[in-house]
Copies of this chain bind each other. A is one copy, B any other.
Amino acid sequence: MSDSHKEIRICFIGESFVNGTGDPEFLGWTGRVCRNAESKGYAITHYNLGVRAETSRYLKQRWRSEVSYRLPPEHDGRVVFSFGVNDSGWAGKQQGIELSESIANARSILTQAKQLYPILMVSPPPCGDVEQEKRNQIIANLSQEFALVCNELDVPYLDVFSSLLKSPTWLTEAKANDGAHPKADGYAEFAVIVQNWEGWLNWFTP
């Protein structure tokens, strides 16, 4: 970290898609967007706090302790949230959160977080399995509701769901893998959407 590089510490927090589950390159979309920012002259500390099977109910309980432990106030710390697929009930047990609760959880988490750090929110991605069409409908609906919450709270929101639903790479890889998680190419595509997003780019303007 030379002095000429702006140092930023970023927590990415949410579910398995934040973790990068399924990516044999172990970067996921979060590692790729940090690599891209680093190549532009920033010194990024990347904290990946994605947890498999996470729902908004559990995220609400844990985000603050894990994030505040990593982002002491004397450093430039920021947070990117992304969750919702498990709220739709994808992985069964302890999942399947009512829409009204998901919305309330998102509002609570984001309201608290934005008082403490610069924050961004990225929508949940679609599942790849065509038999999950009903699930994708639930995720689409959740994404729209999260967009409204973010608009209300003035939190930048990125809808990756709509983009990835049109992506043969994401859907084909996810279907061939486990029905949900893609491999390297899918995560690379996710990363490109994020790193071209105004909300993300605004974090890296001089």
Chain A contact residues, CB within 8 Å of chain B? 1-2, 9, 19-22, 24-27, 31-32, 34-35, 38-39, 44-48, 51-53, 62, 65-66, 69-70, 72, 177-178, 181
13 A-B pairs (CB sep. < 8 Å): A1-B178, A9-B52, A20-B46, A24-B38, A25-B35, A26-B34, A26-B38, A26-B46, A31-B31, A45-B52, A48-B48, A62-B69, A65-B65
Query: Judging by beta carbons under 8 Å apart, are A51 and B69 in contact?
Result: yes
Given contacts A1-B177, A62-B69, contact A26 B27 (CB under 8 A): yes
Which B-chain residue is minimally distant from A36 (CB atoms)? B26
How far, in whole Å, are A70 and B18 apart by their CA atoms in the complex? Answer: 13
Grouping DSSP codes into helix (H, G, I), strand (E, B) and loop, the A interface class, with mixed when no group exceeds half, is: mixed
Smallest beta-carbon distance A114→chain B, Å: 23
The residue in chain B whose Cβ has the minimal distance to the Cβ of A181 is B1
Beyond A1-B178, A48-B48, 18 extra complex contacts between A and B, CB < 8 Å: A1-B177, A2-B178, A9-B52, A19-B46, A19-B47, A21-B45, A24-B35, A24-B39, A25-B35, A26-B31, A26-B32, A26-B34, A26-B38, A45-B52, A47-B51, A52-B70, A53-B72, A66-B66
